[in-house]
């Protein structure tokens, strides 16, 4: 069994992000205070912590011809769950940095992927493999 990770991220608008993770991404809300909220992020513990807004530019690196935001985080989902989430996010009007597509098609590590930002500008990537053995393929 995979051990859950714990990730704490800064958000400058706690309530907007709380709503986004709870309602847009359908993450179950856990404990909270005036300055943080934790969520069940697909079996992992994600905590959003209030931090005043800082101006910064989004940095990207090229991957498969796309500008991938750095840093980013997310989760590897089962293929069908990825497809369902992708459809849901499109219906919710999420603005994708990289719209859902299949990366490295026909190569080692072939995967479906998508990137978008939360309301505080944190970049998320969700991905899926038809063959999970390709997760660390070279």
Task: Kindly indicate the confidence band of residue 57, based on its pLDDT and cuts at 50, 70 and 90.
Answer: confident
Looking at the domain assignment, is residue 87 inside a domain?
yes
Before 71, cis peptide (omega within 30)?
yes
Looking at the domain assignment, is residue 1 inside a domain?
no
> 38 lies in which domain range?
6-50
In tens, the pLDDT along 62-75 reads 999 999 999 999 99
Token code pair at residue 93: 């009007």
In tens, the pLDDT along 24-35 reads 999 999 999 999
Same structural domain, 75 and 20:
no
Same structural domain, 75 and 34:
no
Q: Residue 80: which CATH number?
A: 3.10.180.10
Our CA dihedral for 13, 113, 83, 8, rounded to 10 degrees, sits at: -30
| Spatial separation of the C-alpha atoms in residues 63 and 107, rounded to whole Å | 14
Looking at the domain assignment, is residue 94 inside a domain?
yes
């Amino acid at each position: 069994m995979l051990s859950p990770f714990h990730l704490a991220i800064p958000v400058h608008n706690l309530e907007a992000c709380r709503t986004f993770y709870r309602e847009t991404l359908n993450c179950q809300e856990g404990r909270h205070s005036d300055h943080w909220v934790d969520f069940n992020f697909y079996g992992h513990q994600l905590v959003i912590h209030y931090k005043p807004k800082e101006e910064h530019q989004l940095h990207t690196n090229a991957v498969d011809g796309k500008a991938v935001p750095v840093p980013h985080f997310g989760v590897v989902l089962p293929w069908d769950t990825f497809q369902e989430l992708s459809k849901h996010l499109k219906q919710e009007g999420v603005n994708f940095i990289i719209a859902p597509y299949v990366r490295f098609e026909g190569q080692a590590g072939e995967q479906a992927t998508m990137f978008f930002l939360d309301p505080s500008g944190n970049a998320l990537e969700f991905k899926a493999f038809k063959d999970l053995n390709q997760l660390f393929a070279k």
